[in-house]
Amino acid sequence: MTWVELVAEARIQEAMERGEFDDLPPKGRPLEMEEFPFVPPHLRMPYKLLHDAGFAPDWIELDKEIRELKERFAQLTTTHGKWLEREWEAWSRMQASASPEAGRAARARRGVVREAHAEALAEAHRLLEQLNATVDRFNRVVPHILWQKGRWPARERLDAFVQACERAFPGLGGLKEPGPRPDPDRPARPPGSARWRSSRVARG
């Protein structure tokens, strides 16, 4: 604390000891605070009506959705990682067996693991995309700029997920997270376009 804060705290404490705050008008009653102080004045009445009817503002609902998406992503990574560890132990036992049946079962089990792993990566990618899209929506409607949230680093999260899965089940085949989706608003350039023709001429 600064010296100004120390002096102010000492003065307040002395006044309390002298009983100067004992007869204040609002003593014993809850403070009457303004509702929705960070909501623009022209929106406070609609917000109050929604609040009294049991509805939350849209940014409150979006904040709840963000927390739920983060929890789902954490649950996915934890659950899938533990499942991979169990599958690695089972696959290792099969692989150690000398019987042909165990070898075939190990190869089949590895294929199942790879398919499930690809699905988990796709789900993780989808959750992160949805999470950041929800963060963007939240930042557009939250009533105070200081309440805005930062987007999650999707690339770092996915890379960490892939590395953790590789440690749990080594040699998953280098499966990576899904690549960027093509832009639906950008039409694909046909092979007969001017750019392709010019490149063929240049190479010729």
pLDDT of residue 119: 95
Which is nearest to 36 in space by CA: 65, 57, 53? 57
- pLDDT tens sequence across 61-97: 899 999 999 999 999 999 999 999 999 998 888 888 7
Share of the chain above pLDDT 90, in %: 39
- pLDDT tens sequence across 109-127: 888 999 999 999 999 999 9
- pLDDT tens sequence across 22-60: 776 666 666 555 566 666 677 677 767 766 777 777 888
Which is nearest to 162 in space by CA: 177, 148, 179? 177
Average pLDDT, the chain: 77
Amino acid symbol at 46: P
pTM of the complete model: 0.61
**Higher-pLDDT residue of 160, 188:** 160
Q: How many CA atoms lie less than 13 Å away from 90 in the CB half-sphere?
A: 14
**187 pLDDT above the threshold of 60:** no
**Higher-pLDDT residue of 9, 125:** 125
**193 pLDDT above the threshold of 60:** no
